[in-house]
Amino acid sequence: MKNSLLSDLVIRKGMTLSFQNERMVELKLSDPIGKGTMTGYLLSPHVMVCLVYFACEECPNMVPASQFSGNDIVEHIKNATKTNSVPRSTENSDTDKWLSINYCTEGRCETDIPHAGVAVVSETDVCVSFSHTSDEGYEPPRSFRYPLARYVGIEVFVCTEVLNEPEFSLLREADNDVVYIWSQAGPSAIFSGDKELIAQMKRASSAAQSSDWVQAKLAVLELLWALSRRDYNLAKPQTLLTPTQLHMAKTARDLIESSPTQPHDARDIASEMGVSATTLNGYFQKMYGMTIASYARQQRIRLAKETLMQGKRVSIAACEAGYSNPSKFAAAFKRETGMTPSEFRKQ
């Protein structure tokens, strides 16, 4: 008989939560939000490893960080999705302290940081966030935005109550208070290209998918231990953008996408905004991981590839992408794809 707790939940239009079994929960996105899934694996009552595959520009926060505890985690998710609010604890305990670790493998993610700006997480970044939900000043993110309209990553959610579980109690033997150290991450601390953290995130993900719960827990244990030895003062995100800076970057992107075949000079766009090209390119690169010129070239080559995939001639593809000089088109195409237009067409 199917457990009554394992029925599907429609959180809101375009978001459905499906409980596959006692260990696995899946969030599915559909219109009007977009497409994609986030599959969560429960390693314990206080640890969840998630695989994220999103094709959308924005996803509302599914369940605000709150007090998952005991064997009532599934029921708690149900209650949280119904109320869409953060239960406040009457006591200051580890049940309301949460650590989330997000590793981006493809795309970019941005989220608002109250009173600071916008944090951007890009490929090879590991973003660590610590939240204390009983704190009256705590403000959960309302949504997560994906400026490239896609996002692939691994996320680990940990309630600090996990230290009371036998498998993770070893962390209590550390010389320093690990919860205090984790709390130094604040709303966003980003470690870029940290090979140790990335390897542990991948191990936890791979083991969870294979239902190898022992290996998955070991990977998370090592991940948490590694995070207790990081200097969070050095990891504070340097990619924070203010709303004004974010608006400038998005305006430049929208201009390019509205007329991709036209030449777009960062100096002209920046002049219209009253900033230098260097400044605007800095905002743009933090947001999209490349300069305005690179993004414009990428969009033009995308059009050319679509034309070539239809079997049309290289000269037509060049015109469709806004190139009047065949040599410049061929050079730009090879720089972007690693092959000539003719080689791409023959694939």
316 and 284 within one domain: yes
217 and 248 within one domain: no
Q: Which two tokens stand for residue 140?
A: 């959960």
Low-confidence stretches of the chain (pLDDT < 70) are 1-10, 62-95, 114-117, 133-139, 236-240
Domain, as residue range, for 252: 243-346
Identify the domain boundary among 203, 218, 235: 235
327 and 208 within one domain: no
**CATH number of the domain encompassing residue 317:** 1.10.10.60
Identify the domain boundary among 182, 206, 235: 235
CB-based contacts of 278, cutoff 8 Å, min separation 6: none
Which pLDDT score is estimated for 86? 42
Residue with tokens 């005991």: 70
Which pLDDT score is estimated for 246? 85
d(CA 240, CA 111): 10
254 and 221 within one domain: no
Domain count, the chain: 2
80 and 141 within one domain: yes
d(CA 344, CA 19): 43
305 and 217 within one domain: no
d(CA 224, CA 100): 11
Which pLDDT score is estimated for 204? 98
Residue with tokens 């969070």: 232
Residue 291 pairs in a beta bridge with none
Identify the domain boundary among 235, 254, 273: 235
Evaluate whether 22 touches 75 at the Cβ level (below 8 Å): no
**3-state class (DSSP) for residue 243:** helix
Give the pairing of strands 34-44 and 143-145: unpaired
d(CA 314, CA 91): 68
264 and 229 within one domain: no
Buried b (16+ CB within 10 A) or exposed e, 293-329: bbbbbebbbeebbebbeeeeebeebbbbbbbeeeeeb
Q: How confident is the model over 95-129, as pLDDT tens digits?
A: 578 899 999 999 888 887 766 667 788 889 999 98
Evaluate whether 104 touches 121 at the Cβ level (below 8 Å): yes
178 and 41 within one domain: yes
180 and 49 within one domain: yes
153 and 128 within one domain: yes
168 and 73 within one domain: yes
152 and 57 within one domain: yes
Which value, in Å, is the radius of gyration of the alpha carbons in the chain? 23
**CATH number of the domain encompassing residue 51:** 2.60.120.280
Residue with tokens 């997480």: 121
Whole-structure pTM value: 0.73
Give the pairing of strands 58-60 and 143-145: antiparallel
CB-based contacts of 127, cutoff 8 Å, min separation 6: 101, 102, 103, 104, 109, 119, 121, 188, 189, 190, 191, 237
